[in-house]
Structure 1
Amino acid sequence: MNDHLNDHRRLGRELDLFDTHPMIGSGLPFLLPAGAAVRKAVEDFVHELERRNGYLHVNSPVLGKRAMYERSGHWAHYSDDMFPPMELGGEQFVLRPSLCPHHALMFGSRPRSHRDLPLRLAELGGMYRGELSGVVGGLSRVRAIQLNDGHVFCPAGAAAAEVSAALDLIEAAHGQLGIVPVRYRLSLRGDGAKYVDDPDMWDRAEAVLREALRARGRDFEEERGEGSFYGPKIDIQIVDPQGRENSISTVQVDLFQPGRFDLSYVGPDQALHRPVMVHRSLVGSLERLMGHLIEVHGGAFPAWFAPVQAVVLPVTDAEVPAARELVRRCVAAGLRASMAEPGDGSLGARVRSHRLVPFQLVVGPAEARLGEAALRLRDGTRQEARPIAQVLAWMAARASPAF
């Protein structure tokens, strides 16, 4: 990739995908309509992929009492990266740095049996990190994060299988999005107060992740000091055009928080057992994901998540009514469509200015009269004019992700 041409900060602004404003603040980008369309398509895909694989979707607040984060261990080990507490009615509330305490409390809010497990909860939720202004930039590192998060509560003996299943979903999502990771990293504990001091717990959790990676025949590198404060994780790494590496997806084994929140389920022996909590994010934060997708595809997104999937090009003003009707039918068929009117330039100029749109529908005098459209593809391929219903069916079949 050319680091100048593919930098998502430049492309994102040129293509009207996102922007920033000093009155909103550093590390707080906003998505414009085209960027919001990309994000919604990706959200819907991930939501459906999770649903088809046994996840139950939940919603939780973006803040909670400081006491919750003291219980989870975030306050002791992670408070330097959190926003300061807010005083309200004599209590302190905190913008959450992660979703896992909320999901742990959801599990503990009802009696659980071994028959309920594995319980797979997923959420696209907001979380907040107190990043310094000199660190944030573009979509790769931000202060307000929308995380594709999920937590699997399972018996200890099922943890390796759940890790492997999460890796299956991650690889399926990457395949549809066009993501090619550069490496898999097994992120381990480091030294110091940042990490929970329980070597046996860490050893057991690390063994589960190693087993899952080795069972898949997956090459990986171990790095100390990169784990979460409560446990090890598998980080799937990407690089940007400048060669900077980031994590895009992760799977973690957590033996710490189930104990902190006193989570339990009734086993087949009618005794109480402690579940393992497997954290996983198929595509990470939507901000970092979008930045990477902009760079990977150079703005020429696959048809299923392109911001505009079809553009209708009337040859002259006389075909504008027919073109408007075609746009309406495209939208009714579930496609994101727009029209490039003759006043925007010659047909050739309009084709060039919409070169990133997957499908271009040309409507000339004959097409308008016969109720047809001539289809041009982004790669320059042209198809003969066909009845509109046939063209719509052809596009719709290619504008959906595979599961």
Structure 2
Amino acid sequence: MSTVSELRITLDGSERVVPAGTTAGEALQADGKHVIAARVGGELRDLAYEVRGGDEIEPVEIGSADGRAIMRHSAAHVMAQAVQELFPEAKLGIGPPVENGFYYDFDVAEPFTPDDLKRIEKRMREIVKQGQRFSRRPVSDEDAREELAGEPYKLELIGLKGNAGSDDGADVEVGAGELTIYDNLDAKTGDLRWKDLCRGPHVPTTRVIPAFKLMRTGGAYWRGSEKNPQLQRIYGTAWESRDKQDEYLRFLEEAEKRDHRKLGAELDLFSFPNQIGSGLAVFHPKGGVVRKVMEDYSRRRHEEEGYEFVNTPHITKGDLFETSGHLGWYKDDMFPPMEVDGGDYYLKPMNCPMHNLIFDARGRSYRELPLRMFEFGSVYRFEKSGVVHGLTRVRGMTQDDAHIYCTKEQMGDEIKSLLSFVLGLLRDYGLDEFYLELSTRDESEKFIGEDADWEEATAALKQAADESGLDLVDDPGGAAFYGPKISVQAKDAIGRTWQLSTIQVDFNQPKRFGLEYQAADGTRQQPIMIHRALFGSIERFFGVLLEHYAGAMPPWLSPVQAIGIPIGDAHVPHLDKVAARLREHGIRVEVDASSDRMQKKIRNAQKQKIPFMLLAGDDDVAKDAVSFRYRNGDQKNGVPIDEAVAEIVKAVEARVQI
């Protein structure tokens, strides 16, 4: 029988009796290097936490998702300590862990330089080597204000204590309950070296940060608002081992090589002229070819699936978006209105309200349903300048937008058919690893409509997702304001995940627009509306594919599919003849008749990532053949022209990668 000096706890699923005063680390027999924290009753705690009777305790390993986050947050504290030791006037913002790393914001007189980062990282390594101990202590609001009197941003966070947990990172600093300060204590003397307002938890000592590196700096508005001061943000990465960090850094190097902005310039595909404005791309002739091929194939597949093409204007009266609800819930993401004929007109941020008007232009019968409307529609969204990023986050885009109007009875089968169509078309473009995300409503006031409608729509989406056989991840609160959605998450060639297609079920817009159809029994019924963007936008999908293929697009998508490279001028007519044969089959082919030497022509073609190079010299002309050189450097000599043409045509028509 346990005494008052003993406590019953559950340790990794088994009941144990431990002495009062036992810490989570002692209960877990944690070494503080591999097991760095504990999960107690579902809450993350330091290993120094004293267990209580009835606690359920689990280990948190450094290589787990929670373990990495704790270790990275501790690295952010070490960085902030190093900054304040080197720059005593620096004021602290926030320092949360983020995916693959951490950051901390500072108010400093001058932006940090690359040399500053080197100095900060060196000082961090010294702090880590010292093995300073992270020590948590609760404080009252009054004591916290007194201790942090010189830190204006921390004082503001103390005032936000009851509202912590927002996206600005305040939840890392303060919780909804007691305030806590973490002291960094000297490993030998226990003297205070540094302190920060923080809810924790942290690793036991600074030595438990095996590998880290500072990456870059940038500006960031305090708490994400342009109305607040701009601070200097330092980004870093931290990992549970040097091997893991080296693996991540190699991944970054590969990602940099694949950056679609860099490839877009090198391959002469698109650009972002300053004279036009941020987030507004122009596509050059080669980029225009890729877009056209992408769009043409998509149009063909949509025709086969029974879609009807529509077209709508770029601007509209504001009343339309009042009706749809977008002015109430989406206005911050829309460009400001322009006054025309005494009224406000808006650039459209989406096509659905206009498609509703097409549905409502005449009476509809149940015999027409499901009615599938499709449009490559240009839309405009006022993205903040800080988030605009190449083609993947733009202000002007072309959506491959579809809206399906169906009966409630048709809804389930239509969603399943849509999901199958979406996944099939994405596979045609070379993506083949997916999972799904189900975005639902939460208690936020941004969501409109009846609970019963949301439940029915969510159930239909979930059933379709479950039957797809793909993994399904929940995303509470991520729904559109009018309805839940499934998002297709696709992995690219180096394992990054991109959100692509979305399928949204909407009971609310048909109500707001008063849409009706005549049912079989003669009654007027409201259709269900399904929103579906397959690429998301042409621009973003273009960027994703460019990075997925590292610029070496499969032959069917390559702007130039084959190039003739003569050894000398005398061989140009022979290659012109081959090119003419290829053009008869719709192949995009060029002949390099420039004065460059043959080896330079080959290098130029390789840089342009052209799939097929057809070389010709005296022997090839005599044999009515070409020498085949592939993008990967392989070569076949003396290939008869008929065989060469057939091989290229087959590769293009089969949409295979070379």
- By the TM > 0.5 criterion, same fold? yes
In 2, distance between residues paired with 1:358 and 1:242? 21
> Contact 2:434–2:470 at 8 Å: present in 1 too?
no
Whether 2:655 is the aligned partner of 1:398: answer no
Residues 335-362 of structure 1, C-alpha deviation per residue, up to 9 Å, x if partnerless? Answer: 111122352222x332233122111112
In 2, distance between residues paired with 1:359 and 1:295? 21
Structure 2 equivalent of residue 361 of structure 1: 614
Give 1:71 deviation, angstroms. 0.8
Q: Decide whether aligned partners of structure 1 residues 30 and 342 sit closer, same or farther in structure 2, where only a CA change above 3 A counts.
A: closer
What does 1:266-305 align with in structure 2 at a 5 Å threshold?
Answer: 266-305=518-557
**What is the number of equivalent residue pairs in this alignment?**
402
Q: Decide whether aligned partners of structure 1 residues 250 and 23 sit closer, same or farther in structure 2, where only a CA change above 3 A counts.
A: same
Q: Decide whether aligned partners of structure 1 residues 260 and 286 sit closer, same or farther in structure 2, where only a CA change above 3 A counts.
A: same
Give 1:239 deviation, angstroms. 6.2
- Please provide the CA RMSD for this pair: 2.2
Give 1:365 deviation, angstroms. 2.3
Identity %: 38
Residues 144-203 of structure 1, C-alpha deviation per residue, up to 9 Å, x if partnerless? Answer: 011111111111111111111111111111212122455311011234342214322211
Structure 1 equivalent of residue 514 of structure 2: 262
Structure 2: tracts of 5 or more residues without a match = 1-250
Structure 2 equivalent of residue 62 of structure 1: 314
Q: Which amino acid aligns with 1:73?
A: G
SS at 2:323 equivalent: helix
In 2, distance between residues paired with 1:249 and 1:82? 22
In 2, distance between residues paired with 1:179 and 1:130? 29
What does 1:99-114 align with in structure 2 at a 5 Å threshold?
Answer: 99-114=351-366
What does 1:41-80 align with in structure 2 at a 5 Å threshold?
Answer: 41-80=293-332
SS at 1:222 equivalent: strand
Residues 255-295 of structure 1, C-alpha deviation per residue, up to 9 Å, x if partnerless? Answer: 11111111111111111111111111222111110111111
Structure 1 equivalent of residue 59 of structure 2: none
> Contact 1:6–1:241 at 8 Å: present in 2 too?
no
> Contact 1:173–1:283 at 8 Å: present in 2 too?
no
In 1, distance between residues paired with 2:492 and 2:383? 20
Residues 301-327 of structure 1, C-alpha deviation per residue, up to 9 Å, x if partnerless? Answer: 111101110111111111122323433
Q: Which amino acid aligns with 1:378?
A: R
Structure 2 equivalent of residue 317 of structure 1: 569
What does 1:203-282 align with in structure 2 at a 5 Å threshold?
Answer: 203-238=455-490, 246-282=498-534
> Contact 2:310–2:374 at 8 Å: present in 1 too?
yes
> Contact 1:209–1:233 at 8 Å: present in 2 too?
yes
SS at 1:3 equivalent: helix
Whether 2:563 is the aligned partner of 1:308: answer no
SS at 2:339 equivalent: strand
Structure 1 equivalent of residue 454 of structure 2: 202
In 1, distance between residues paired with 2:312 and 2:644? 42
Structure 1 equivalent of residue 600 of structure 2: 349
Give 1:117 deviation, angstroms. 1.0
Q: Which amino acid aligns with 1:159?
A: M
Residues 75-128 of structure 1, C-alpha deviation per residue, up to 9 Å, x if partnerless? Answer: 111111111111111222111111111111111112211111111111111011
Q: Decide whether aligned partners of structure 1 residues 305 and 274 sit closer, same or farther in structure 2, where only a CA change above 3 A counts.
A: same
Q: Which amino acid aligns with 1:350?
A: K
Q: Which amino acid aligns with 1:209?
A: L
Whether 2:313 is the aligned partner of 1:84: answer no
Q: Greater relative contact order: 1 or 2 (C-alpha under 8 angstroms, separation 6 or more)?
A: 1
Whether 2:621 is the aligned partner of 1:373: answer no
Larger Rg: 2
Q: Which amino acid aligns with 1:391?
A: A
In 2, distance between residues paired with 1:303 and 1:326? 18
Structure 1: tracts of 5 or more residues without a match = none
> Contact 1:169–1:282 at 8 Å: present in 2 too?
no
Q: Which amino acid aligns with 1:375?
A: F
Aligned to 1:125, which of 368, 377, 380? 377
Structure 1 equivalent of residue 181 of structure 2: none
Q: Decide whether aligned partners of structure 1 residues 99 and 136 sit closer, same or farther in structure 2, where only a CA change above 3 A counts.
A: same
In 1, distance between residues paired with 2:500 and 2:284? 23
Structure 2 equivalent of residue 27 of structure 1: 279
Q: What is the TM-score with the length of structure 2 in the denominator?
A: 0.58
Give 1:218 deviation, angstroms. 2.5
Aligned to 2:414, which of 148, 157, 162? 162
Give 1:20 deviation, angstroms. 1.2
Q: Decide whether aligned partners of structure 1 residues 51 and 312 sit closer, same or farther in structure 2, where only a CA change above 3 A counts.
A: same
In 2, distance between residues paired with 1:284 and 1:254? 18
Give 1:331 deviation, angstroms. 2.9
> Contact 1:189–1:226 at 8 Å: present in 2 too?
yes
In 2, distance between residues paired with 1:140 and 1:277? 27
Q: Decide whether aligned partners of structure 1 residues 241 and 217 sit closer, same or farther in structure 2, where only a CA change above 3 A counts.
A: closer
SS at 2:255 equivalent: coil
Q: What is the TM-score with the length of structure 1 in the denominator?
A: 0.93
